[in-house]
Amino acid sequence: MTPTSTFQSPRRAVGVDVGGHGVKAVLMDSGGALLDRWSDHDARAEAREVGAVVERVATAVAALSSDPEAAVGVAVPGFFDTRAGVVRSSPNFPAWEDVPLRRLLRERLGRETSVDNDANAAVVGEAWVGAAAGLSDVVMLTLGTGVGTGFLVNGGVVRGARGAAAEGGHVRLPDGRRLCGCGRRGCLEAYTSGPGIVATAAHVWGMEERPDPPATAEALFALHAEGDLQAADAVGRFAVHLAQGITTLVHVFAPEAVVLGGGVATSLEQFREFLEMGIRGLAIPACAADVLPIRAAELGTAAGAVGAARIALQSTGSGAK
Ligand SMILES: [Zn+2]
The pTM of this model reads: 0.91
- Per-residue pLDDT for the chain (321 aa), expressed as one digit of tens each? 444 444 556 789 999 999 878 899 999 999 999 999 999 998 888 888 999 999 999 999 999 999 988 999 999 988 899 889 999 988 778 899 999 999 999 999 999 999 999 999 999 999 999 999 999 999 999 998 889 999 999 999 998 887 777 889 999 999 999 999 889 999 999 999 999 999 999 999 999 999 999 999 999 999 999 999 999 999 999 999 999 999 999 999 999 999 999 989 999 999 999 999 999 999 999 999 999 999 999 999 899 999 999 999 998 754 333
**Distance from first CA to last CA of the chain, Å, rounded?**
19
Centre of ligand 1 from the C-alpha of residue 185, in Å: 7
Q: What is the pLDDT of residue 303?
A: 95
State the CB neighbour count (10 A cutoff) for residue 268. Answer: 15
Quote the ligand 1 centre to 157 CA distance (angstroms): 21
Q: In Å, how far from its chain's centre is CA 174?
A: 24
Residues counted in the chain: 321
> How many angstroms separate the alpha carbon of residue 174 from the centre of ligand 1?
14
Would you tell me the crossing angle of helices 268-282 and 229-253 to the nearest 10 degrees? Answer: 50
Q: Which residues contact 70 (CB under 8 A, 6 or more apart)?
A: 10, 12, 13, 14, 27, 61
Q: Which residues contact 160 (CB under 8 A, 6 or more apart)?
A: 166
Which DSSP helix (H) or strand (E) runs through 95?
none
Residue 24 is inside which H or E element, if any? strand 22-29
- CATH code linked to domain 12-123: 3.30.420.40
Find the 140 Cα to ligand 1 centroid distance in Å: 17
Q: Is 32 helix (H, G, I), strand (E, B) or coil?
A: coil
Contacts of 27 (CB under 8 A, 6+ apart): 12, 13, 14, 34, 35, 36, 37, 64, 65, 70, 309
The CB-side HSE value for 64 (13 A sphere, CA atoms) comes to: 32
> Is 134-297 assigned to CATH 3.30.420.40?
yes
SS3 304: helix
Q: Which pLDDT score is estimated for 318?
A: 44
Phi, psi at 184, each rounded to 5°: -100, 175
The answer to whether the beta carbons of residues 50 and 99 sit under 8 Å apart is yes
Please give the pLDDT value at position 2.
Answer: 43
278-312 burial, b at 16+ Cβ within 10 Å, e below that, comes to bbeebbeeebbeebbebbbbbbebbbbbbbbbbbb
Q: How far is the CA of 312 from the centre of ligand 1 (A)?
A: 30
Q: Using the mean position of ligand 1's atoms as its centre, give its distance from the Cα of residue 313 in Å.
A: 33
**pLDDT at residue 20, as a whole number:** 79
- Residue pair 89/106 in contact (Cβ under 8 Å)? The answer is no
Residue ranges matching CATH 3.30.420.40 in the chain? 12-123, 134-297
